[in-house]
Amino acid sequence: MDGGAISSRCVPNAQPLAHVLFLGLIALGLCACQSGDDSSAPAAARVIPAPAAIATSATPPPMAVALAPQINDTDFLQFDKTLSSDAFDGRKPGTRGEVLTIRYLVDQFRHMHLTPGNHGYWLQSVPLVTTTLLNTGAKLEVRSGQGLQAFAYGTDMMAFAQDARPLVALRSSPIVFMGYGIDAPQWQWNDYQGVSVKGKTVIVLINDPGYTTGDPQLFNGKAMTSYGRQVYKYEEAARMGAAACFIIHTSDDAAGYPWTVVRNSNGGPLQSVPPSVAPGPRLPVAGWLTRAAAERLFHSAGLDFDSLAAQAAHRGFTPIPLKATASLLLRSAVVHGRSYNVLALVKGSRHPDQVVIYSAHWDHLGTAPGPRGRREIFHGAVDNGSGLASLLEIADAFAHQRTPPERSILFLMPTLGEAMMLGSQYYVTHPVFPLDRTVADINVDAWPVIGRARDMTVIGAGQSQLEDDLKQVLSLQGRELTPEAAPQSGFYFRSDHFSFAQAGVPALIAGPGLDLIEGGHAAGAAASADYTARRYHTPYDVFDSNWDLSGTLEDIQTLYLLGRKLADGNEWPDWYDGSEFRALRAAMMAKARQAPLAAKPLRPAGKSARPAGARSRPAP
């Protein structure tokens, strides 16, 4: 979809694009010298070999646009190496790893001479509830006409107490197969119509019906909608009064990740915000089933899983009671505390009340018991050490511009990105800058280091005019913007930009291109698939001093130029026609026009009263 041309935006006194880009190139040469210590750079990084049987090209062409001095491999490697080191214990919120992570990030921003981003404070306090399952030997017991079957935690199923209760007992709860578990009026689809699931255990399929049928008129065809994500399915089941909801991991492709990711992401302490902060519907029991477990469960009830799953993708499907009941006992330790978003600011010179946000979540999965009882660290070097290093590089570049940006730049590093993006959701409901003065959010999450590419990937293509801006910047580099290769995975709904999108703020998440200069599409696809299958959300997502950062640095430069274009202009990018978020932005801006408020200057650091939720330094 290529709607929403730039000429349709409200751009008073807009300069011709060529002139704007020319000024951008001139400004690059005016950046001050590289910051940081005076140590010599390490030896050039060795190129990671391309996958076997993939031919590589001759010497790659030089970059069309020189990198800002602050965007360099020495700093990037040091940032990522430190943040993903053993000492940081996997950056789990509420642990020593959080304290070290926050202190390190704040120290870097101070070294760059940025300003605290929360009205004089570096941190925004986020209420936190941590729920740790104690009886990990728990089994889901299903009783049917064929007797009793048990499904083991970790192997067959995952389950957790979503409403953070110490003891949850599911006793002989009737099981109902609800198809995809979706109520979507705009698609004339309601799996729950005429069915009461109060007190029952619902079993649903991951993704949405369009994934199975491929029909572009049904949801978005192969591209997942927000109805396909587990967050929605749990919420809908809870709204309908279900006692439990289990999602079937039908395939790696349908879910967007293998079962190991489900197990690792849900197997340790799970974190949420208290109901007083986010009062949405919550289930007593939420969980997952493997496909094999679902087939066994359906067979025990005299039903064929494949047949019913196929039927569920078509209108008119009727939910199927399984003539079986579920029982499960969960004992959990529940601890209330706080975690913190990190915020740093480059104050705008002309419109300081307007802001462009860069975001990248700082947290990861922490540690977990490994084989033979050994502790394993989920280092998160790519997810999201790469995003943090990228934002630090961009922040340093902005900090060293001779001419500060006209609009403010806020670097937001939210907590709880791995817990359904709760830190960014908290920021959106407690924003430092009003959302109607927020130009856009540019998000960076899990940027696999795979080499230089002829393109950059946009996640959730066809959402907003930010894609037009990104295309213009890429054209400077002789590159192009391409849609993601796996829209069925729903990546657009899986990172912190989505919190802004849900509130109506135009939000962009991009990724490395897959048309690699060395190896082409085949090498890019192989490298991306290898990361997802072997390292994503595992202890093997580790720092590698031999990374070839040439492509990553070029991509960081692209995102830096994108933010500069927005910050030095007067455009207000909008959502494309047809985007589900367009109406939210229109209503927000209309309300702002009806009740204009005098712009209040940001208070200088250290001279403001402490706002609610602010912290000046990491908690001990």
Three-state secondary structure string covering 235-273: HHHHHCCCCEEEEEECCHHHHCCCHHHHHHHHCCCEEEC
Mean pLDDT of 53-78: 78
Distance between CA 234 and CA 211 in Å, rounded? 19
* Residues 431 and 463 reside in one and the same domain: yes
* Residues 274 and 212 reside in one and the same domain: yes
Distance between CA 118 and CA 608 in Å, rounded? 10
Instruction: Please state the pTM of the whole predicted model.
Output: 0.81
* Residues 87 and 204 reside in one and the same domain: no
pLDDT at 3: 37
pLDDT at 51 over 50: no
Phi, psi (rounded to 5 degrees) for 311: -65, -35
- DSSP code, position 347: -
Kindly report the three-state secondary structure assignment for every residue of 501-545: HHHCCCEEEEEECCCECCCHHHHHHHHHHHHHHHCCCCCCCCCCC
Within a 10 A sphere around the Cβ of 156, how many other Cβ atoms? 19
Q: Which helix (H) or strand (E) holds 339?
A: strand 320-346
* Residues 382 and 452 reside in one and the same domain: yes
Mean pLDDT of 275-284: 86
Q: Give the DSSP per-residue string, 135-170.
A: -TT-EEEEEETTEEEEEEBTTTEEEE-TT--SEEEE
- DSSP code, position 83: H
pLDDT at 50 over 60: no
pLDDT at 614: 59
What type of residue sits at position 375? R
Q: What does the longest C-alpha to C-alpha distance in the chain come to? A: 77
Give 65's pLDDT tier (boundaries 50, 70, 90). Answer: confident
Domain contains 365: yes
Of 277, 302, 334, which closes a domain? 334
* Residues 152 and 91 reside in one and the same domain: no
Domain contains 55: no
pLDDT at 2: 31
Give 420's pLDDT tier (boundaries 50, 70, 90). Answer: confident
* Residues 325 and 354 reside in one and the same domain: no
Cis peptide before 118 (omega within 30 of 0): no
- DSSP code, position 412: E
Domain contains 125: no
Rounded to an integer, what is the distance from CA 81 to the centroid of its chain? 21
Distance between CA 126 and CA 414 in Å, rounded? 9
Residues 6+ apart with CB under 8 A from 280: 235, 238
Give the range of the structural domain holding residue 247, as residue numbers without chain letter. 132-334
Give 617's pLDDT tier (boundaries 50, 70, 90). Answer: very low
pLDDT at 594: 87
pLDDT at 27 over 90: no
* Residues 193 and 102 reside in one and the same domain: no
Owner of token pair 């949850």? 168
pLDDT at 372: 76
Report the CATH number at residue 590. 3.40.630.10
* Residues 19 and 154 reside in one and the same domain: no
Give 477's pLDDT tier (boundaries 50, 70, 90). Answer: very high
pLDDT at 601 over 70: no
Domain contains 210: yes
Q: How many domains does the chain have?
A: 2
Q: Where are the alpha helices (DSSP H) in 48-95?
A: 73-83
| Tokens found for residue 4 | 């929403």
- Chain segment 215-230, per-residue pLDDT in tens: 988 998 998 988 999 9
Domain contains 36: no
Residues 6+ apart with CB under 8 A from 91: 83, 97, 98, 101, 362, 363, 364, 366, 380
**Percent of the chain clearing pLDDT 70 (strictly above):** 86
Mean pLDDT of 566-592: 95
* Residues 173 and 253 reside in one and the same domain: yes
Distance between CA 587 and CA 598 in Å, rounded? 20
